[in-house]
Structure 1
């Protein structure tokens, strides 16, 4: 099977970008499996920090792929999503610092 033809690309470099796109999608999709697993363990809806890290890594790779493909809709969606993911990580870090400073009681 000719992978270049199968994926509708002309060069090995383009095929590598398709591979990056698939990796990005796997990481980005994996965040839902992680969230589901943590929620099942807790018996309630939980969003673990790893969800946001997978969102950032997967979203960044997908944004790179979208930029390479010059897809403005995909670029816009992933760009805005990254702002949300990074903001959530900042809020989590802020809460952790506050909890470390505040004595229990």
Structure 2
């Protein structure tokens, strides 16, 4: 069984990556690279801070990579990708809206504190 699997592996990879090679395969791979780059970015930001941080660009890469992967899923008619990226992208957008709402609140608090400061 294992030997047969090892013998069939080159044929499998040939079929997946060579016979199915087209623009959309390249697009899908690029989408995965964009999507995956967000983790490298998050890791670098955390190392610089010396603690776990989630930079704003993480969410933008999540949205761009997620939308690209969603398009790929629609073109390839892949329901697992469509469901996964459709839901995930909504969550990424929601996270950005929460981040921007908190920034507006913080900015307003800072403005209010500065305008009431008697100095």
Same fold (TM over 0.5): yes
Query: After superposition, what is the alpha-carbon deviation per residue over 1:11-35, rounded to whole angstroms, capped at 9, x for unaligned?
Result: xxx7111111111101100000000
| Highest RCO, 1 vs 2 (Cα 8 Å, sep ≥ 6) | 1
Number of aligned pairs? 97
Query: After superposition, what is the alpha-carbon deviation per residue over 1:23-69, rounded to whole angstroms, capped at 9, x for unaligned?
Result: 11011000000000000000100000100000000000000000001
2:104 counterpart residue number? 97
Q: After TM superposition, where is structure 1 displaced by more than 4 Å over at least 4 residues in a row?
A: none
Task: From the two aligned structures, give the one with the greater helix fraction.
Answer: 2
Query: After superposition, what is the alpha-carbon deviation per residue over 1:47-100, rounded to whole angstroms, capped at 9, x for unaligned?
Result: 001000000000000000000010111110011100110000001110111111
Gaps of 5+ in 1: none
2:78 counterpart residue number? 71
The reply on whether 1:31 has 2:38 as its aligned counterpart is: yes
Give the structure-1-normalised TM-score: 0.86
The reply on whether 1:19 has 2:26 as its aligned counterpart is: yes
Counterpart-to-counterpart distance in 2, 1:8 and 1:87: 39
Gaps of 5+ in 2: 1-14, 115-119
Larger Rg over CA atoms: 2
Which one of 67, 82, 88 corresponds to residue 60 of structure 1?
A: 67
Give the structure-2-normalised TM-score: 0.76
